[in-house]
Amino acid sequence: MTVNAWLFLELVVLNIADIVTTIEAISRGGRELNPFMRRLMGRLGTGGALGLVKFIALALIMLLVLFVPAPYDVYVTVLLLVLCGYYAIILVNNFSVIRRLG
């Protein structure tokens, strides 16, 4: 597997963890801070909204991983690294909220 494939796999795992921890935080009384997601959750439910948005985003990113040719794939690598870092920070926040809410 390529570096980008491994990073994409990591991003998928981080997004699944984000879904699980977001649902847990909301079930304990937390709230979604993203106004777009909050509105979508009101229409589709928490899990449905998170699953739909993440599926679409990950599908688009997968297209980049699969079809951006070298040497431009380095930009995809940078994007994946930034997104993985971003979701790691989100997970730290989600775990903090879950811990605080008990």
Residue 91's domain comprises: 3-101
The structural domain count of the chain equals 1
DSSP class of 69 = P
Q: How far is CA 16 from CA 11, 19, 32, in A?
A: 9, 5, 16
Q: What confidence score (pLDDT) does residue 7 get?
A: 98
> pTM of the predicted model, to two decimals?
0.94
Q: What share of the chain is helix, strand, coil (3-state, %, to 5)?
A: 85, 0, 15
pLDDT band at 92 (very low <50, low <70, confident <90, very high): very high
Cα angle, residue 82 at apex, residues 42 and 33 outer, rounded to 5°: 25
Mean pLDDT of 18-43: 97
47-79 pLDDT per residue, tens: 999 999 999 999 999 999 999 999 999 999 999
Q: Percentage of residues in the chain with pLDDT exceeding 70? A: 100
